[in-house]
Structure formats: C-alpha cells, structure tokens
Amino acid sequence: LDDAFVKDAFHCETVAELRAKIKEDLQSRREAESRNKVVDQLAEQLIEAHKFDAPQALIQMEHQRLTRQALDRLRQQGADPAHWPEDRQKDFMAQFLKPAERNVRMSMIIESIAEKEGIHCEKADYDRHIEKLSKALNQPTDVVKKYVEQRHQHVELEDQVAYEKTLEFLIASAKVEAA
C-alpha cells in the first residue's frame, strides 16, 4: 500500500490516515458489540422480572416487520424465498415469532419506565439524532430532516430517541456483577 493507491481506492490522503480510520472503525464496532451485550442482558432481566401477555396485534405487526427485513436481506443477496418449499417458508417465518414477542414486551416495559421516570425526546436529543443519522448516511442534516418529516417519521424517530435515552438511563443505574 502506498499513499497514491490509498487516495484512489479509499479516499484517504495517506496510509496512516487509512490505518487510523480502520482502527477507529474497529474500536467503534467493539464498543457497539459490548453495548449490545449489555442491552441484551438488561432486556432479559427486565422481561423476566415483568411477566405479562403482550397484545397479539402488536406481536403480529412486529413479526411482519422482522420477517420483511429478513426477506429484504435475502433478496439483496440474490435469494428468492418465494421459490422455497412451503414448509421451509413456514419455518423461516416462525423463527421471528419469539423475537417479535420479546421486542414488543421490551418496548412496552421501556415505554412504561420512560413514563415513570419522565424520560422523553427533547428537541436537542432529536437534533443530535438527526446529526448522527446524517453522518451515518453521509447526507446533509437538512436533507435527512426533510426526508424524515416528508415521510411523517418524526414521531417514530422521537420514540426511538426516547427508547435509547431510557436504555441509557437503565444501563447507567444498573448494578454490574462480575461474570
């Protein structure tokens, strides 16, 4: 690798800059992985501590969403589940039932905690999230904001921000035990 190749192939000025970006990316991935493990453990504990039946209509909606996402990923990879045998299609869809119920229950628990703790999406939180999305999508902030508003997704985004804030609140106040 030399600076000329790196500049053409990776849009970095130098090999050192590319190495720094790779190192930063790896660190970000490790942090995200670690946080995801904490969130999974937290979700497991919350769901275990709060037993209730989630509304079937919400579970069905979440099941459809998860299934659609998985089907989209498969199609992007060139697979066509429509040509699968019927029993394989059913098995494929069935794998998303438990995660759908878990997601709905977790969302309801988080929403309840947010309400009790007075956690909600402030304008500054919303703006920070839009900026974060803008960077991730490599688009100007005003373009992302306009896109979200045109599709009337600002309420969903506010809910997502409140959910994340509540998770951060719970993580910060959680008792950490050594494994």
Global pTM value: 0.79
Please enumerate in sequence order all residues whose Cβ is within 8 A of that of 111, keeping only pairs 6 or more positions apart, or say none.
163
Determine the pLDDT at residue 113: 96
- Please report which confidence band the pLDDT of residue 9 belongs to, taking 50, 70 and 90 as the band edges: confident
The secondary structure of 73-104 as a DSSP string is HHHHTT--GGGS-HHHHHHHHHTTHHHHHHHH
Span 94-134, pLDDT tens digits: 999 999 999 999 999 999 999 999 999 999 999 999 999 99
Q: Which two tokens stand for residue 137?
A: 């999508």
Decide if 106 contacts 116 (C-beta within 8 A). no
Span 41-90, pLDDT tens digits: 999 999 999 999 999 999 999 999 999 999 999 999 999 888 999 999 99
Determine the pLDDT at residue 176: 59
Q: Which amino acid is at 126?
A: Y
